[in-house]
Amino acid sequence: MKKEALFYEKLDKQKTGCRLCPHNCTISDGKVGICGVRKNTAGTLHTLIYGEVSSMAMDPIEKKPLYHFYPGSSILSIGTVGCSFRCRFCQNCNISQNPEYPTQNHTPDEIVEYALSKGSIGVAYTYSEPLIWYEYVLDVCKAAKQAGLKNVFVTNGYINKDPLSDLLQFADAFNVDLKSFSEDFYRRIIGGKLKHVLETIEEISRHPAVMLELTTLVIPGYNDSDEEMEEITGFIASLSGDIPYHLSAYYPMHHFTAPSTPVKTLERLKEITIKKLKYVYLGNVGADSNTYCHSCGSPLIERRGYSTEIQNMENGKCCKCGAGIPVIG
């Protein structure tokens, strides 16, 4: 469904300037922006995907991945088509790079009613890139909050400051992809700028009531050097050593055919990160994904696949030594 966009300017000669994400596309009449889902029609910018849901499922919260937000819960997860990036290794390219992929329209109230009927803790905006679905996501967020549900974002973090600020009023948790610490990688492989992603992460980290977790998809030969992991770790630690960090294995997809990430690579990188970060998890490889107390080492959350059991933890504290644990829910 088409709806007038938020965050844009009308320019000369019926052009529009979209201000939703740092691409800040200037869009001529009849054309779409880089994301493929925001179109200028006679000088008015529209989102083409209001309510257009390409994927919907009840998922374990751990699948997002979020390990420190309502562990063991299930969340209604929805996604759409299009993306502000062009990751050459995209694991969801069938929807992210194909605005023509079939969708079904659902009103925000329908999404909330469905979430409630399924006993979901909230709504997760995920699968491709939710921030380019902004107008709809904001409306679902408002309806979800009114119904007492949580709002969770799994995102590439490419958004301008003002729209992010509005979204943060309704957000409960984010998992942001930090795909690399190299501007060159972001420019050549992804089609964006690292500095804007870092700004988004910094801004979210200033909101203590919002759970922030970060994920890096580790691609051999591209972002798996010790030096780069030292830089990423230093950046995250400068915000907080409590931020949970996921190192996920890549598998060949889209334009990338190189072999998948060896477990040993992830383990080597984890050795670097745990010098400064308290909670580091390996994803997509079946490794130990339990949460341990950073102070006394007691197991706190045991995970087997997507089955989760909380042990030795009450009211955000380790029952054995009393250390505070950054877990919401």
The length of the chain in residues reads 329
Q: Which residues pair with 309 in a beta bridge?
A: 302
Contact between 83 and ligand SF4 by CB under 6 A: the answer reads yes
Instruction: Name the residue with the smallest CB distance to ligand SF4.
Output: 33
> What would the two tokens of residue 230 be?
């030292």
Residues in 277-316 at the binding interface with ligand SF4, rule: CB under 6 A: none
Contact between 60 and ligand SF4 by CB under 6 A: the answer reads no
From the CB of 202, what's the least distance to ligand SF4, in Å? 19
Residue from 88, 243, 68, 63 nearest 79 by CA: 63
Contact between 64 and ligand SF4 by CB under 6 A: the answer reads no
CA distance 140 to 109: 7
From the CB of 192, what's the least distance to ligand SF4, in Å? 8
CB closer to ligand SF4, 36 vs 326: 36
Q: Could you tell me if 263 and 270 are in contact, meaning their C-beta atoms sit under 8 angstroms apart?
A: no
Q: How many residues bind ligand SF4 (CB under 6 A)?
A: 23
Which window, 16-24, 243-251, 303-311, 317-325, contacts ligand SF4 (CB under 6 A)?
16-24
CB closer to ligand SF4, 49 vs 149: 49
Sole residue written with tokens 């420190």: 68
Residues in 128-147 at the binding interface with ligand SF4, rule: CB under 6 A: 128-129, 132
Compute, in degrees rounded to 10, the torsion defined by CA atoms 70, 234, 267, 311: -30
CB closer to ligand SF4, 22 vs 51: 22
Which window, 21-29, 63-71, 199-207, 227-235, contacts ligand SF4 (CB under 6 A)?
21-29
From the list 87, 112, 152, 249, which residue makes contact with ligand SF4 (rule: CB under 6 A)? 87
Angle formed by the axes of helices 194-205 and 226-239, to 10°? 30
CB closer to ligand SF4, 87 vs 137: 87
Q: Could you tell me if 62 and 308 are in contact, meaning their C-beta atoms sit under 8 angstroms apart?
A: yes
Give the β-pairing of 150-155 and 299-304.
unpaired
Give the β-pairing of 122-125 and 38-41.
unpaired
Residues in 29-58 at the binding interface with ligand SF4, rule: CB under 6 A: 33-35, 38
CB closer to ligand SF4, 165 vs 238: 165
Which window, 91-99, 111-119, 230-238, 311-319, contacts ligand SF4 (CB under 6 A)?
91-99
Residues in 185-204 at the binding interface with ligand SF4, rule: CB under 6 A: none
Contact between 92 and ligand SF4 by CB under 6 A: the answer reads yes
Which window, 19-27, 115-123, 258-266, 288-296, contacts ligand SF4 (CB under 6 A)?
19-27
Which window, 15-23, 112-120, 276-284, 285-293, contacts ligand SF4 (CB under 6 A)?
15-23
Contact between 180 and ligand SF4 by CB under 6 A: the answer reads no
> What would the two tokens of residue 235 be?
């950046």
CB closer to ligand SF4, 155 vs 308: 155
DSSP 250: -
Helices (H), 89-180: 93-96, 108-117, 134-146, 161-168
Q: For 7, phi and psi rounded to 5 degrees?
A: 55, 65
CA distance 255 to 130: 22
Angle formed by the axes of helices 108-117 and 134-146, to 10°? 50
Residue type, 92: N
Helices (H), 240-315: 263-273
Summarize as ranges the residues that interact with ligand SF4 (CB under 6 A).
18, 20-21, 23-25, 33-35, 38, 83-87, 90-92, 96, 128-129, 132, 156
